[in-house]
Amino acid sequence: MSETIREVVKKRYAKAITGRKGCCGGGSLGSSCCDTGLSKATKMITGNLYSESEVEGLPEDLIATSFGCGNPTALAQLYPGETVLDLGSGAGLDVLLSAKRVGPYGKAYGLDMTDEMLEEAKQNQRKSGLSNVEFLKGHIEDIPLPDNSVDVIISNCVINLSGDKDKVLNECFRVLKPGGRVAVSDIVLKKALPPKLQQDMTAWAGCIAGALSDTEYQGKLTTAGFENIEVQVTQVYDFTESDSEMFAQLSKEELVQLEGAIVSSFIRARKPKVNVV
């Protein structure tokens, strides 16, 4: 992964989590009471993804520290006793939700590269009282877990942030058990972005510039060895009237080009089972 991209992403999300810690709290689901430095476009993507019932029993401000583009734990099939890995686990919301679903005989790992996120996640785990959780520091291009050790990999708007998505998906294939599943929410492109936006680091950290097209995503999963691949659109975004700084550089014609281009999707795939001879 390009160190420039990685450092931009790391700094941006470290600033975001420290900006939201210690906020006034009590806001609506998916809304923040603080200026985190994330763009308005990113806030449009990350808002209103979880219901009150889903986060019941978890720290009340945890939802405000989620920067995802979907709700993979609501869409993924998780079973008691399974081992789940969340790539780019942030403040730990999806990890804690997964831990509740796989139960005390299951395990939920969270992997993140940002110290500030990991510290927040560990605090949230302590508040939740869940013991079947472990947060790991590392990069999603080099997952610090053994081969064939995970039943399900989830992720929430993180794979698009990587500069080496082939390596990420190869690592996913490596750590999954035979028959294991990928079930991730991510930003996907339905048509090409204006070149200026593709090269913009703010747009990359904002989950847009690094996104793959749906056919590219499927192709990379196939190359990594996965089968039963499905890309399901869950939300279409309209940025044509956006006043975000991310789009200030674009002309009216380029803004029109964005119409229908950026969507949230739920991506499923499976690692083949080993043939029994």
* Per-residue pLDDT at 9 exceeds 70: no
Going by DSSP bridges, is the β-strand pair 212-213/176-189 parallel, antiparallel, or unpaired? parallel
- Mean pLDDT over each residue of the chain, to the nearest integer: 77
* Per-residue pLDDT at 276 exceeds 70: no
Check residue 254 and give its pLDDT: 72
Higher pLDDT residue, 120 or 32?
A: 120
Q: How many residues does the chain have?
A: 277
* Per-residue pLDDT at 203 exceeds 70: no
Q: Are 190 and 211 in contact (CB under 8 A)?
A: no
Check residue 260 and give its pLDDT: 81
Q: What percent of the chain is predicted at pLDDT more than 90? A: 40
Higher pLDDT residue, 174 or 50?
A: 174
Fold of 3-270: Rossmann fold (3.40.50)
Determine the average pLDDT of the residues in 36-40.
Answer: 42
What are the tens digits of pLDDT across the range 212-256?
999 999 999 999 999 999 999 988 877 665 556 666 667 777 777
Nearest to 55 by CA among 67, 73, 36, 31: 73
Domain ranges of the chain: 3-270
Rounded to whole angstroms, the Cα distance separating 223 from 190 reads 21
Nearest to 136 by CA among 60, 150, 148: 150
DSSP states along 91-139:
TSHHHHHHHHHH-TTSEEEEEES-HHHHHHHHHHHHHHT--SEEEEESB
Bridge partners of 87, per DSSP, are 111, 155
User: In a 3-state reduction of DSSP, which class is residue 40?
Assistant: helix
Rounded to whole angstroms, the Cα distance separating 122 from 119 reads 5
What are the tens digits of pLDDT across the range 63-93?
555 555 556 666 788 999 999 999 998 888 8
Check residue 173 and give its pLDDT: 98
DSSP percent split of the chain into helix, strand, coil, nearest 5: 35, 20, 40
Rounded to whole angstroms, the Cα distance separating 84 from 157 reads 17
- Whether the model clears a pTM of 0.75, i.e. scores above it, the answer is yes
Check residue 259 and give its pLDDT: 79
Tokens for 4, please give them: 């420039």
Rounded to whole angstroms, the Cα distance separating 121 from 126 reads 9
CB hemisphere CA count around 53 (13 angstroms): 1
Q: Which pLDDT band holds residue 273 (cuts at 50, 70, 90)?
A: very high
* Per-residue pLDDT at 32 exceeds 90: no
Check residue 58 and give its pLDDT: 56
Check residue 60 and give its pLDDT: 57
Poorest-pLDDT segment among 28-32, 46-50, 107-111, 180-184: 28-32
